[in-house]
Structures are given as C-alpha cells and as structure tokens.
Amino acid sequence: MSIRPILKWPDARLTQNCAPVAEITPDLRVLVEDMLDTMYDAPGRGLAAPQIGVMLRVFVMDPTAKEAGRNPVVCINPEIISLGAVVAEGPEGCLSIPGVSAQVSRPTTIRMGWTDLEGVQHAQDLTGFAAICAQHEMDHLNGMVTFDRIDADQRTALQAQYEAA
C-alpha cells in the first residue's frame, strides 16, 4: 500500500466531525492499509482517518506495538459506551502536532464498541494506554485535537512552542 501525508495542525479538517462509514468496500480496505502503513512509518500508535484528510469515522491503533510487536486494531464507526470513574493525567503526543507533548486528563478505562474490517461488531473494555489511545483517536473523529483538551495557559504555551519549531 502507501504512506499518506499526515495533516498538521491548524489544518481546518482536523476540526471537523467525521461521517459514519456506510459499508465496508474495497476502497475502505485500501484506506485502512494505508493508514496502518502511515501510522507505523510515523512512527505512531494510533491514526485517525481525518489525520490523512479522509473525513470518515475510522481509526487504527496498535497500543502495544513498541513493546510486544504489531497487533493492530481497526475501528470502524467506533463509539465510547462508557467511561471509567478513575481519571489520570499523562503526556500525550499527536502525529498532527509533532514535537508537542501535552499533559491531558482522561479516564483510564473505557468500554468501546466498533466494527472491524470484516464487519464483525466488537465491544471491549480498554484500560491504561489502550484506553487513552482510543480516546485520543475518537477525539480526532469528533474534530478535536490535544490542544482542545488542555487549559488555556498550557495551550498558549504549547501553541507558541509548536509555532516556533
């Protein structure tokens, strides 16, 4: 397949809500393969379709790739079913905002539903980094970036750092 260019903030497409996927087509399969190639090349652990300019509710992630080898998850029309009560703050980077790491607060557990590339429905509890990664990618599908999850002072400082780079 191919590696696609990753959109960089402040590209307006990163602020748009994505449309649901109507059906699994050969074009969608190519998109997913390209997304995986792009994510691993970046190198990243997650990539949402809008980050490569495709405004569909699709993301790929591989939260354990750096520790345990490749085990990608393809999420089509994902939804967060529930959020855990425990919230933690931790560093988050984003392929669309390279060189910036923000301290973001998120629930450490979620229950997420999605369809895979074979059309199989899944519902799974995610914890730790997998939960954080999935929430980050869901934000992209909803037109949000890391800057939208931090307080005004941190945002101002990180935007200045990003723009100076």
Q: What is the pLDDT along the chain (165 residues), one digit of tens a residue?
A: 699 999 999 999 999 999 999 999 999 999 999 999 999 999 999 999 999 999 999 999 999 877 778 999 999 999 999 999 999 999 999 999 999 999 999 999 999 999 999 999 999 999 999 999 999 999 999 999 999 999 999 999 999 999 988
Beta carbons of 128 and 108 less than 8 angstroms apart = yes
Which pLDDT belongs to residue 81? 98
Element (DSSP H or E) covering residue 89: strand 87-93
Rounded to the nearest 10°, the torsion over CA 78, 82, 83, 84 is: -130
| Domain 12-164: homologous superfamily in CATH | Peptide deformylase (3.90.45.10)
Which pLDDT belongs to residue 67? 78
Domain boundaries, the chain: 12-164
Which pLDDT belongs to residue 137? 98
Other Cβ atoms within 10 Å of 133 Cβ, number? 22
Which pLDDT belongs to residue 66? 75
The predicted model scores a pTM of 0.95
The alpha helices in 44-150, defined as continuous H runs, are 65-68, 128-141
Which pLDDT belongs to residue 106? 97
Which pLDDT belongs to residue 165? 82
Which pLDDT belongs to residue 14? 98
For the annotated catalytic residues, the residue numbers are 137
Q: How far, in Å, CA of 50 to CA of 133, rounded?
A: 16
